[in-house]
Every structure is written in structure tokens, then in C-alpha cells.
Structure 1
Amino acid sequence: MKKFIYATTLLLALATVKIHAQTFMDRVHFEFSAGTGIANKGIKPVDFSFRSQVEFVSIAYLFVTAEDNISLYKNEGVKTYYNGVSIGGGLGVKLLNSVKSIHALDIRAKALSSVGCPSWKRSSYDVSLAWYLKSYRFSPVVELGYRFVDSHTQGIDNCGNVFLSIGFRY
């Protein structure tokens, strides 16, 4: 009975998805953004991000992202920072896809992990809302969300913060 319920739910969900005849390049988008978050535990994040996304159905897309993470803090009264690069990916779902408007609102979830030899080894997990203009090829993107940082460096605690990023989408 469980298999029947799962199959029925899947078929009903797929019936709501529209697939448009688009080329692959019409379904690929790129984003560049810069963001910052609210300081938590004395650390203020600043991130520069590049994202490439591919729509696999009309209401959802997968993306890969690379970020340069700079974390500002004070050490004995002297301003300093941690620096590192994180790579990861995630899933985006379009919330205003069927509305006849130039505005788009997506919900995104992503996971990142530091690579190389950063001064702060960490994994981070984000959930955010992203607004952009869907009718223009170049459009601004504003993203507001929450990030949890799981620290893998001894002496630095896990933390979370609200962040805002602004960028461009192509």
C-alpha cells in the first residue's frame, strides 16, 4: 500500500510540472554576488560567490557554487580575518514561477565545504530566499537567508547567522 501511495503522489506531483521546449543554454544561468552577515560570536562573514545553475524541470534547478569566505574578527583588540574557499551545491525551487510577473522568488538550500588549506576549515549549510527579475537576461539578485557553519578547526565554535547578498544573474 505504501508503494501505491508513493507512486500516486509522485505522478500527481509530476502532473503539475510544465516542461518547455528550451535549449540547454536557455536553462543555464550564472550568478555573481557579494554578501555579508550579522556578526555572531565575534565573527562577521563576508562572502564572494559564483554560482552556475541548470533547470531540470520548470519549477526547480540544481546549482554548484564556489565562494571566497572572509571572516572578520578581533584578536586581542587587533582586527584580523580567516580566509578560505568553499565549494558545494544545492537545490532551488521557484515559488513565483507560474505568476505572470517579471519578479521571481526562489527558495534555495545549499551545502558547502572548505577546500585546500584554509585558515578556518568548515562546512556550511544555507537556506535562503532569492529575488530577481526573470524577464531580463542580466538582472540583479538579492538573497536573504540563514547560514549554519559547522567548524572543523579546533578553538573556533560552530555558529549561525542571517546573511544578505547582492549580485547579478545572467
Structure 2
Amino acid sequence: MKRIYFFCLTYILLGCSHANDTNNKEQSEKLIGEALKSKALTIGDDIIKSKRLYIAAYNNIDQQSIVNDELFIYSVNKTDSLFGSYEMNNIAFEANIKSNKEIDVDVIDGLCVMNKYMLKYSKIIDMKKFPESLQVDLNKAMSFQPTYLNTLNQSKDYLGQIKCLQLK
């Protein structure tokens, strides 16, 4: 009888110890999701703040330079980091752009300006000298450009804050 009692008590304790694992896992996933969302918002804020830099760089590109190389690499990596935050959180980036759900028009405008800079500079330089991973990330960033332009064209710009559409 003691064995049966001990056996039942062991299973009850074992079952209770695993019941909390599911709750901890859900909490951990929720915290990770919130951290990734925060990271994406931080990257978006940085893109908004650096939009004027990219406009100046876009307007003054005429040849390859070390500064432009570094800004180009930084830009590609910045967009890849943003996309990665969304992918890791299982959120469709393109759907967010179209709905302006978590990405506002300022971020979309900044991404569009960055893409115009990256595209213009990529035509000046020999892309074969850059790593293949950078070329893949650049192509991924460029794949969203029509969506950015479409979203910006549909947005109301009463204060003239959308700059990407002004760049030629």
C-alpha cells in the first residue's frame, strides 16, 4: 500500500512540475516577441532620423568612395536587420507596410529613400567586389521598393514630409 501511495504521489508531483513549463515557455515567447517588436521600432526610429543623411548622400553621389561604401554596407545591413526582426517574430513585413499597422509612413519613406540611395550607388560600384550575402540582402531590400512607392503614393502628405517621391 505504501508503494502505491508513494507511486501516486510521485506522479502527482511530476505532473505538477511540468504544468508550469508550458506557462513559462509561453511567457518567454511573449517576451521575445515584445523584444523583437521593440528592436524593429528602434530600427525604424533610426531610419527616420537618418533620412536626411540618405537624401544628402543620394544627391551627392558621383563616384565610389570609402564613406559611400561604408554607408552602403550599413544601409543594407540595417534593412536586413529590420526584416530579420519581423521574420523572427513571424510577422509579415510586406503586409505591415500595406496596412501601416506597425510601420508608419515616416519609416516607409525612410526605407524608400535608403533604397533609392542603395540602388543609385550600386550602379556606380562593382557589386562583384562585395560579398554575395550583401548582394542577396540588397535584392531583398529592393524587392519592397514598389510596395513602398505604392504606399507613399496613397498617403496624404499635407505637410510635404514624404521625401522619397521627390527624389529623381
TM-score of the superposed pair, with normalisation by structure 2: 0.21
More strand by share: 1
Structure showing the higher helix proportion among its residues: 2
Q: Which has the larger Rg?
A: 2
